[in-house]
Structure formats: structure tokens, C-alpha cells
């Protein structure tokens, strides 16, 4: 039985908490766990600071990039499972 992964779900996971989409996909799990830990610490640190707008924009841009990469990673997993 092939365990097909949803690229959209991986994308949403990586957007909300970067790294979670990689863990869901089962590819680059250690990288995903590291990014997840750093993201939680970063978001926690940002919530207590009065930071410039550029930091918020950068965090949002990074979330979109991780979401896109999470989507592609799930697609790769699905293609490799078909072989």
C-alpha cells in the first residue's frame, strides 16, 4: 500500500509552522524538525518584541517559501512512491 501525501496539506503545514510539512511528507525529517524548533523559537521571540516591519515581512516571505517547498517535497514523495 502506497502512502500518498497531500502536497496542499504539506504546504499548509509548512506555512503555519515551517518544518512541519517535511515531517508530514517523511522526507528531510531531521531538517524539518530543526526548522520546526527554530521556527517555534523565532515566533515565540517575535511575539515579545516590538520589531520593525521588515522582520514581519521577512517572516511571512520565509513562510511562503517553505510552503512552496513543502508542496514540491510532497510531490517528490508521491512520485517516488509510484516507482
Mean pLDDT of the chain: 84
**49 phi-psi bin (left φ>0, alpha ψ -120 to 50, beta other):** beta
Render pLDDT for 58-69 as a digit per residue (tens, 0 to 9): 888 888 988 999
- pTM beyond 0.85: no
What is the pLDDT, as a whole number, of residue 2? Answer: 58
Residue whose entry in the numeric block shows the C-alpha cell 501525501:
5
Confidence category of residue 83, pLDDT binned at 50, 70, 90 = low
Amino acid at each position: 500500500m502506497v502512502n500518498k501525501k497531500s502536497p496542499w496539506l504539506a504546504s499548509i503545514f509548512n506555512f503555519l509552522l515551517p518544518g512541519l510539512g517535511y515531517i508530514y511528507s517523511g522526507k528531510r525529517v531531521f531538517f524539518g524538525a530543526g526548522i520546526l524548533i527554530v521556527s517555534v523559537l523565532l515566533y515565540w521571540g517575535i511575539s515579545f518584541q516590538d520589531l520593525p516591519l521588515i522582520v514581519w515581512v521577512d517572516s511571512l516571505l520565509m513562510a511562503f517559501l517553505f510552503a512552496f517547498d513543502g508542496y514540491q517535497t510532497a510531490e517528490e514523495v508521491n512520485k517516488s512512491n509510484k516507482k
